[in-house]
Chain A
Amino acid sequence: MAGKVAAPVAELTGPLAVLKEKFSEALSPGEFEGAVIKNENLVEVAKFMRDDLGYDYLSSVTGVDYPAANEVEVVYHAYSARHGLHNGKPLVFKARAPRDNSVVPSLVSVWPGADFQEREAWDLMGIKFEGHPNLRRILMWEGFAGHPLRKDWHEAYFEQDNKPFDSRWPGGHHTRAEDRVPLADNVAFPPGFDPTDFNSQAETTLVERARSVDVSELGQLVSSDGNGSGSGNGHIADAIQTDHLIVNLGPQHPSTHGVFRMVITLEGETILKLEPVMGYLHRNHEKIGERNTFIQNMPFTDRLDYIASMSNNLGYALAVEKLMKVTPPERAEYIRILMVELTRICNHMWAIGFLLNDLGAFFTPALYAIEERELVLDLFEAASGSRMMCNYMRFGGVARDLPEGWIEKCRDLVFNRLPKATDDLDHFLSENEIIRARCEGVGNLTAEQAVAYSAAGPLLRASGVPYDVRRAEPYSIYDRFDFDVAVRYHGDVYDRYLIRLDEIRQSIRILQQALDQMPGGGEIQAGKKQYQTRVPAGQAYGRVDGPKGELGFYVVSDGNPNPYRYHIRAPSFINLTALGEMCKGQKIADVVIILGSIDIVLGETDR
């Protein structure tokens, strides 16, 4: 069954051997490079990993369903971010539980960054995390029937477990999905369900939670704003009788960066509690991805973070290449670097432009930023055929070589135009009085918090943690370039703005070196051109430092043409774990810029 018994059991070495020595009973080696930890010891072992082994950063938590073994598995990937230990390599560990009673202890108390990811695993995989403070659905709504990522859960339109569907190929007798299903729509209801007599629970728990604010924090939050002298618990609440106001922002809101929603509990103008609500763009990438063949997933990755499709391509290609054990030829590596660094530049331009939008500089700075982005998109279109959805990378290379004149255009952009455009943005915006007044000291996130909440990318680095996957665990050919990991130390909105400028400058440096070193010709694809990729059984976690942060793909293959499990560690999603903390005690008017400074894309947040 599905990679469970096929591979030999790996030896425990390095940090795992230390673990084994300490917790001999709790650990057993798996058929992967890592360990399976007994549920009853999980929290204890995790604490030891964090405190004694230096794995302070929990990158990814996800579930895998194995119906044949009647088990669900939770897979954890932890790294050492602040200490930079273990060569940037992950510590992979798993917890297992039976399918019908899948309970695993929650690790939120050890790594708060597990919060949303565990909720996601509960929502989609039906794994209960014991001790989780708020184990509710996150991507689907409360009251939805079933946990869709279970292998035996099928939606109404379900046709077949893997593509290409028999109805399309080779027979080609495709009928519309609507014509196949009883209700002529993509819906399924439990037998006997009566929609004429039904009260939706989707909103109720949200409102209840927003109302239930811990009053003991109130005095402290309000006094930290200088509005009161509340030194004791509930000092202000005792003196004045106030009602909390619940404000809902989104999902349709001009400044929420897509269909993102926040339910905010206010005391006056001060935020007591902010609860992000997401899933409004949950497009079921993972369920569809497990049906697709490996290569069919490539265009779907474009639609994750649709502003940075090339980075997504690279992340997925790296994960599958790890399994296939192929390395792209030299020229393809350089083309990849060019593409992803250009992507980073246009993403950051976009982010800065729209942060300024949120600050009230409505669209003028954004127009300048979009202008530069358009020039980069021209390059993408010339190379891949599409402005946004590039679908350009392949396992072991790229789809096609660069067209004639591309390099010259790129050179002109990288050497002449983009440095000046960046300086212009810097010159006009950075010292602007309004920007500084509104951004400095707003939305603070300390280094400890950032690491604990598994924040990634610019959000993490603006809090003073110089952790960049390109440097910590170099992939592709990043070890050949001379660049600095941008870092800022205040962890406020202003620093997050500045760090994006820094990163654009570093990207330009990398691009300039890549253009100079790039071989003039040669292969762009390792091995023969394939229409059906054969991926050996196994599991791999490929990660890149995308513009939004660490983008990881966890792929499990059982040797079939389809991935057995396809999970995306989305930086936009996980960065939002810290949003509630960052907004606490801030003014309601600043929520939108704090959100803007995280720079999320909903395609990736909700997947």
Chain B
Amino acid sequence: MSQQPEQFQNDPMVPPELNNNLFITTLDKLYNWGRKRSMWPMMFGLACCAIEMICVAASRYDLARFGAELMRPSPRQSDLMIVSGTVTKKMVPTIVRLYNQMPEPKYVLSMGACATGGGPFKEGYNVVSGIDKFLPVDVYVPGCPPKPEALLHGFLKLFEKIESQSIRTVPWYRKGEIEAIPVPVLGPDLIDLRRAVEIKEYTQTQVNAAPAPAAEPAHS
């Protein structure tokens, strides 16, 4: 064939019968191509958006075209967490725990307004203002709920992100442990343990100051 790369012609490493069958690429490209075309999402629905997520996996929108139809019920087997719906305070410890259980490389796609910033329910007393308060989010998909096409677009954006990563710099091949995110605790309200000291300082100032009725729960 005429398009055969010239450099193989006299290459002592390449036997003549393989001349037509060689491609040259970078390790990064091969690695990322493999990863992005076999993205296994976790089977994990939270709210309304989960229904659209199921529709994306069904025949009409057919997520299988992008190699991501294999939803895994176990976080140990998943690459991608689609946070599909409202994140509530009661649920967020579970979500963080599941995220910690996922092996690297792992990605988070925040689907819909609620997962992104609390959405229409942001003011609610049991609602977390977006999953990015706890997890690092890779792709945000707007919408309430996003149409299936929008979720597919989110997948494509995630693939773009994967393509831009390099095996030399990705954190999961570097030395040292990747630290787990501390699981939030359900106390009188949701306690983000990373901010425990800050919260303690604040509640102490409340004691010292005059009783602040606005922040104090009215009933026991």
Name A residues whose Cβ lies closer than 8 Å to a Cβ of B.
126, 139-141, 143-148, 150, 152-159, 177-178, 182-183, 185-196, 198, 200, 202, 251-254, 258-259, 279-284, 287-288, 291, 299-300, 303, 306-307, 366-367, 370-371, 374, 387-389, 602-603
Contacts and interface: CB of A to CB of B under 8 A. Distances in A.
A292 to B, nearest CB: 10
Interface stretch (B11-19, B31-39, B165-173, B182-190): B182-190
Given A279-B88, A280-B91, 4 more contacts: A189-B202, A194-B203, A367-B59, A389-B48
A563 B133 CA distance: 32
Given A143-B188, A190-B188, A281 B219 contact: no
B218 A303 contact: no
Contacts of B24: none
Nearest to B58: A370
A185 B129 contact: yes
Nearest to A369: B58
A367 B121 CA distance: 31
Contacts of A284: 121, 123-127
A186 B86 CA distance: 14
The interface centre, meaning the residue of B51, B186, B188, B189 with most chain A CB atoms within 10 A of its CB, is B189
B144 to A, nearest CB: 7
22 contacts: A140-B90, A140-B126, A143-B188, A145-B189, A146-B218, A148-B125, A158-B123, A178-B129, A187-B192, A191-B215, A194-B203, A196-B196, A251-B91, A279-B90, A280-B94, A281-B47, A282-B88, A288-B124, A300-B120, A306-B48, A374-B55, A388-B145
B186 A193 contact: no
Given A251-B94, A367-B58, A192 B204 contact: yes
Nearest to A291: B123
A303 B48 CA distance: 7
Contacts, number: 205
A48 to B, nearest CB: 34
Specify the main secondary structure of chain A where it touches its partner.
loop
A306 B47 contact: yes
Given A198-B187, A388-B145, A188 B43 contact: no
B90 to A, nearest CB: 5
A178 B130 CA distance: 12
Contacts of A281: 46-47, 85-86, 88, 91
Nearest to A283: B121
Contacts of A374: 55, 58, 60
Contacts of A152: 218
Contacts of A144: 186, 188-189
B212 A191 contact: yes
Given A252-B94, A279-B90, A306 B126 contact: no
B191 A150 contact: no
Contacts of B188: 143-145, 189-190, 193
B215 A389 contact: no
B216 A370 contact: no
Contacts of A253: 73
Interface of B: 43-48, 50-52, 54-55, 58-60, 73, 85-86, 88, 90-91, 94-95, 98, 118, 120-129, 133, 144-145, 147, 185-193, 195-200, 202-204, 206-207, 211-212, 214-220
A288 B86 CA distance: 15
A253 B55 CA distance: 19
A126 B54 CA distance: 38
Nearest to A284: B124
A509 to B, nearest CB: 27
The interface centre, meaning the residue of A154, A177, A195, A279 with most chain B CB atoms within 10 A of its CB, is A195
Contacts of A389: 48, 144-145
Contacts of B186: 141, 143-144, 200, 202
Given A190-B188, A191-B203, A185 B217 contact: no
A190 B217 contact: yes
A195 B199 contact: yes
A252 B128 contact: no
Given A187-B189, A192-B204, A370 B125 contact: no
B218 A150 contact: yes
A195 B187 contact: yes
Contacts of A251: 91, 94
A255 to B, nearest CB: 8
Contact of B54 (A143, A185, A299, A370): A370
A261 B47 CA distance: 14
Nearest to B59: A367
B199 A189 contact: yes
Contact of B220 (A139, A145, A287, A387): A145
The interface centre, meaning the residue of B46, B94, B128, B187 with most chain A CB atoms within 10 A of its CB, is B187
A188 B88 contact: no
Given A282-B90, A389-B48, A157 B122 contact: yes
A183 B217 contact: no
A307 B214 CA distance: 38
